[in-house]
Structure 1
Amino acid sequence: MKIASINVNGIREAVDRGFLDWLAEQDADVVCVQNLKAKSFELDDSILYPEGYEGYFLDAEQDGFSGVGIYCRKIPKAIMYGLGFEQCDNEARFLQADYDRFSIVSFLMPDGSDYAAKQSFMTQYQEYLSKMSRKRREYIICGTWHIAHKTLDLANWADNQTTPGFKPEERAWMDQVFGPTGFIDTFREINRDAGEYTWWPKLDQDMPRGRQEGWRIDYQVIGPNLRRHVADAWIDVDATFSQYAPLIVEYDLEL
């Protein structure tokens, strides 16, 4: 099973830059998209239902803001829209597709431009993650968490220790997620190297991404029972339809 996750940073703009062509080339079973910045009813059928996929979307109340979606080759048994707390659901930050053995989530954390709002979200989301970790169902949570966990997860970490996305309290929160709460960073199961990034805040399209200062703030997060099923993981830095790069993980699982 192949799952891709990508913050499109505006779905219509991403389509104009080749997102649908990229999608057709992936042969992914599930593609989770975040930060659509559009209402689903505003989108063409070519975006809602690309060939071979069923699309599911959650729209934010505010126009041109947030939004998440999931493209599925196999129709899920159920779709869960939101988590039941206002900040998450009104801003369209969590969409879950349920299959027999596990659930796949498209997730978007607040970016920290309103840091108090991000802290409030993290507190409420931690409660939900703790509940998820105690359930018998397995989860694959895909998306932009807007936190670089370790110093090797961003280029210029020394100058960003007070920047939202790398503040000590945010990194400590991730320590809890990947520590006592019991979740696993799939990418780091495969790749322990520095210089692996999914977002470039000052992206210059004329300069190769490898020469620019990036952050790794996108994850596919799983419970410990799925650890042995992580077969491969990589970041598609050649996909240039967004300021973010797709994170792709292959699992030794079937939908």
Structure 2
Amino acid sequence: MLSVLRDASVTLCLPPMQLISYNINGIRAALRNGLSDWLAQHQFDILCFQEVKATADVVDLAVFEQLGYQYHWHAAEKKGYSGVATFSKIAPTNVVLGCGLPVYDCEGRILRTDFDDLTLLNCYFPSGTSGEIRQGVKMEFLRDFYDYVVELRKTRPKLIVVGDYNIAHNAIDIHDPIRNKNSTGFLPEERAWMDQWFGNNMIDTFRYKHPQDVAYSWWSYRAGARSNNKGWRIDYASVTDNLRDQIVDCQMLSDAVHADHCPVWLSMSERANE
């Protein structure tokens, strides 16, 4: 069910801002691996976590409060599975849990926070690695999510869409495109969806700033993939074209090793592009 929270008392104009999107593969595990110490060394305004694998009531969130963050959480109904959470240092003006489609909302896949006229979507796209049934769910999600964003943009034209998309877009985004040409996450139909996504006035901020750079956001735990940098770039920070002039930089923060993913860092300026 679509859940909406409102706080009309807060006035905020973002950007400028520093944001990270991070699939932490379990927030409790990431905290045990030093996530809080790492966050304390930085000045991020917004944290978008995917695959938190917990409800907020079972996590010690005092460290985030000490760092000045408040949070909004969209957990999966299934315990220890999926879920997204957004932490910010200033209250959003509107919060929506889910996209209104129960088949996805029960898995905690989309969390929307508005900051005045800017809308941030924190997303965890399904993976198809467990077999044909889930691959089918993934393809249905891609179609439904695309339509959802097209409709949302009619009333909320300034969007930032971050998260684990579970797709490597092009050959430059995966360490072995030949061997993985038939692997979920790099299938032709998934890559075609990414073509459509970025062809509809959405910008891949990392590729926009670094058109030729090789950088990954996920590495398998097997066969020393991370130490050998055999990774995939499957985590993205997309923005609508009307925010193009406000993109300062986007980077994969591969030195952060709290999970099998690394954070995607996005910096936006306050220049307007009307």
TM-score clears 0.5: yes
Q: 1:65 to 1:117 in 2, by over 3 A?
A: same
Which consecutive residues of structure 2, in runs of 5 or more, have no partner in the other structure?
1-16
Structure 2: how far apart are the matches of 1:169 and 1:137?
Answer: 27
Query: Does structure 2 conserve the Cα–Cα contact (< 8 Å) formed by 1:133 and 1:223?
Result: no
- Correspondence for 1:138 among 148, 155, 158: 158
1:154 correspondence with 2:174: yes
Which consecutive residues of structure 1, in runs of 5 or more, have no partner in the other structure?
none
Structure 2: how far apart are the matches of 1:119 and 1:21?
Answer: 38
Structure 2: how far apart are the matches of 1:68 and 1:83?
Answer: 13
1:196 correspondence with 2:209: no
Farther-moved stretch of structure 1 (41-50 vs 114-123): 41-50
1:186 correspondence with 2:205: yes
Percent identity over the alignment is: 34
* Aligned AA (1:93): R
1:253 correspondence with 2:267: no
Deviation sequence 1:52-102 (CA, Å, 0-9, x none): 100111110001100000110111111110000012200000111111120
Question: Which residue does the alignment assign to 1:80?
Answer: 96
- Correspondence for 1:19 among 15, 35, 40: 35
Structure 2: how far apart are the matches of 1:133 and 1:152?
Answer: 30
* Aligned AA (1:128): Y
Structure 1: how far apart are the matches of 2:30 and 2:76?
Answer: 18
Structure 2: how far apart are the matches of 1:97 and 1:85?
Answer: 17
- Correspondence for 1:120 among 120, 140, 156: 140
Structure 2: how far apart are the matches of 1:140 and 1:94?
Answer: 13
* Aligned AA (2:237): Q
Structure 1: how far apart are the matches of 2:110 and 2:50?
Answer: 9
Structure 1: how far apart are the matches of 2:190 and 2:86?
Answer: 27
Deviation sequence 1:103-158 (CA, Å, 0-9, x none): 11211000113211111211211111222343343111110000000110000011
SS at match of 2:178: helix
- Give 1:250 shift: 0.6
Structure 2: how far apart are the matches of 1:234 and 1:177?
Answer: 20
Structure 1: how far apart are the matches of 2:147 and 2:204?
Answer: 19
Q: 1:54 to 1:60 in 2, by over 3 A?
A: same
Deviation sequence 1:216-246 (CA, Å, 0-9, x none): 0000111000011101111111101110000
Q: Number of aligned pairs?
A: 251
Question: Which residue does the alignment assign to 2:55?
Answer: 39
SS at match of 2:113: strand
* Aligned AA (2:247): V
- Correspondence for 1:29 among 45, 53, 61: 45
Query: Does structure 2 conserve the Cα–Cα contact (< 8 Å) formed by 1:153 and 1:194?
Result: no
Question: Which residue does the alignment assign to 1:230?
Answer: 247
Query: Does structure 1 conserve the Cα–Cα contact (< 8 Å) formed by 2:118 and 2:156?
Result: no
Question: Which residue does the alignment assign to 1:173?
Answer: 193
Structure 1: how far apart are the matches of 2:145 and 2:61?
Answer: 33
SS at match of 1:134: coil
Q: 1:197 to 1:31 in 2, by over 3 A?
A: same
Query: Does structure 2 conserve the Cα–Cα contact (< 8 Å) formed by 1:203 and 1:243?
Result: no
Question: Which residue does the alignment assign to 1:2?
Answer: 18
- Give 1:3 shift: 0.7
* Aligned AA (1:53): Y
Query: Does structure 2 conserve the Cα–Cα contact (< 8 Å) formed by 1:149 and 1:174?
Result: yes
Alignment of 1:79-98 (within 5 A): 79-98=95-114
Query: Does structure 2 conserve the Cα–Cα contact (< 8 Å) formed by 1:230 and 1:250?
Result: yes
What RMSD in Å do the two structures reach over aligned CA positions?
Answer: 1.7
Structure 2: how far apart are the matches of 1:27 and 1:42?
Answer: 26
Query: Does structure 2 conserve the Cα–Cα contact (< 8 Å) formed by 1:87 and 1:121?
Result: no
Runs of 4+ with deviation above 4 angstroms: none
TM-score normalised over the length of structure 1: 0.93
